[in-house]
Amino acid sequence: MADRRIQRALLSVSDKSGLVALAQFLQTLGVELISTGGTRQALLSAGVPARDIAEVTGFAEILDGRVKTLHPHIHAGILARRDDPRHGETLTRHGISTIDLIVSNLYPFENVVAAPGSSPEQIIENIDIGGPTLVRAAAKNFHDVAVVTDPGQYEEILAEMRERDGILSLATRQKLAMAAFSRIAAYDQAIAAYFAHVAGQTERFPTSLHLSFSKRIDLRYGENPHQSAAFYIEPGATHPCVATAKVLHGKELSYNNLLDLDSALNLVRDFDRPAAAIIKHNNPCGAAEAEQLDQAFHLAYESDPQSAFGGVFAFNRVVDAATAEQIAAPNRFVEAVIAPGFTPEAWHLLTTRPKWKDTVRLLEVGELQPGPATALEYRRVDGGLLVQTRDHAGADWANLRTVTRRAPTEAELADLAVAWRVVRHVKSNAIVLAKGGMVVGVGAGQMSRVDAVHLAAHKAGERARASVLASDAFFPFRDNVDAAAAVGVTAIVQPGGSVRDNEAIAAADEHGLAMVFTGVRHFRH
């Protein structure tokens, strides 16, 4: 029989959101309610009667509640097959009644681990034992039992039971079982990850990789309208990032918006001084630092005003009114803005003045901090997964080595630092020209490095004169240096490491350029 009428339910939840409404509805259908501890107290306080589980098992909760649902009178009632007469005879012989619905959403282990100040004792006590056992049993026997593991599922099952007089279909029960097993898998993975951390596990890339992410939203479409997409969040992510950002205003975020917002935020995170960045198609088209945020934005926008149209903007400081005035200037169109926050004046201006006031997405992330040093990046390939550590910048700049006869001036060194921070975020082959604290030209994603130099110079125009250049990887030939010198570049930063480094150094010396090596490559494919 595909349909099952819910006649007896066991409710034992940590997250009590929507619990009372669910129980009240079940009560109107005549469903017998069994409950435990705090869940039962919440129901009784709301005037909803529920039997104590100890009445069903004939055994009181023991070990401070560690053992309460682990009993044959509970699990036999869940696991018994309704279509097997032998199971029915066994239940009758032992005086056990069947249970048709399990509602259990587990102890909040992930939240406790992520919460600052949680003690090891608190974390261990939030490893649920009875809940996952109930959930697994019910999910296994989905032909006869429904299992609900998330308050977000309540409305769907209530609607079906309301329409069908207390009946849940096999399709619904199977769907709930799938969600239950997924939840158990994620829960166990979170516990395993915690113990690996506590044990000081040094194996960065284990033999078997188990990933668990929670869906935050379904997206309208993917990279293109014919592709479906969704946005998933990594468990335990609490640092300022796109995944934890609070959307304050604007229309629904798209797949491409999220990619660009992530890139933009990670770029400005690299700067200590007030900084702004503009991302278009996942590449920086503008970036700058200055003493004031509005100055940084002005410089970033002037990097490439044409490409900035319809871009994503990021800031490493709270957006103030002066900066918002510039963002909302006439003839500018903005897709999204992400920042530590917005002053009331800035928020009001951005959401009331420009033509795009109703659609622009404003995202707040809080004070920026470095991302987790141990974070990994994942990229899907057909039939497999590539995993690597994140490309963190900073340490390589401390090992800067001048390789030409002329060393950079202080002004050149400051601009080289800007260009080097930005080039890490440009698709390879990548070249960035900077001048006066701002990016003036970007050559991104070229198959030939010298073509990337020419593209960056073309974007910079006259501003290339007296600019500095950053290359994400070494120069394979001296033609890169010659091309840079031809447009007026005065200093270069690159990783070094080519068999023809001496030719590049000689070319720089011939042109009177300063060149420094970092010893670190920053490819971004």
Q: Which residues pair with 331 in a beta bridge?
A: none
Q: What is the DSSP string of 58-78?
A: SS--BTTTTBSS-SHHHHHHH
Spatial CB neighbours of 86, under 8 Å, sequence gap ≥ 6: none
Name the 3-class secondary structure at 401.
strand
Neighbours of 386 (CB within 10 A): 9
Spatial CB neighbours of 41, under 8 Å, sequence gap ≥ 6: none
Neighbours of 426 (CB within 10 A): 28
List the 101-103 sheet strands across, edge first: 51-52, 32-35, 8-11, 101-103, 146-148
Extract the tokens encoding 260. Answer: 């660009």
Name the 3-class secondary structure at 301.
helix
425 included as an active-site residue: no
Residue 70 burial by Cβ neighbours in a 10 Å radius (0-12, 13-18, 19+):
middle
Helix (H) or strand (E) holding 34: strand 32-35
Contact 515, 508 (CB under 8 A): yes
DSSP summary character for residue 335: E
Residue appearing with tokens 């309540």: 154
What span, in angstroms and rounded, lies between the C-alpha atoms of 107 and 425? 40
What span, in angstroms and rounded, lies between the C-alpha atoms of 220 and 525? 26
Instruction: Choose among 401, 374, 398, 403: nearest CA to 387.
Output: 374
Name the 3-class secondary structure at 498.
coil
Catalytic residue among 140, 143, 175, 357: 140
> CB under 8 Å, gap of 24 or more: what pairs does 298-303 form?
298/326, 299/436, 299/437, 299/438, 300/275, 300/276, 300/438, 300/439, 301/276, 301/326, 301/332, 302/438, 303/278, 303/438, 303/439, 303/440, 303/442
Catalytic residue among 87, 143, 281, 357: 281
Contact 10, 35 (CB under 8 A): yes
- Cis omega (within 30 of 0) on the bond before 105? no
Per-residue burial over 181-196, b = 16 or more CB atoms within 10 Å of its CB, e = otherwise: bebbebbeebbebbee
Which amino acid, residue 442? V
Contact 467, 460 (CB under 8 A): yes
239 included as an active-site residue: no
Q: Please identify every residue annotated as catalytic.
A: 140, 281
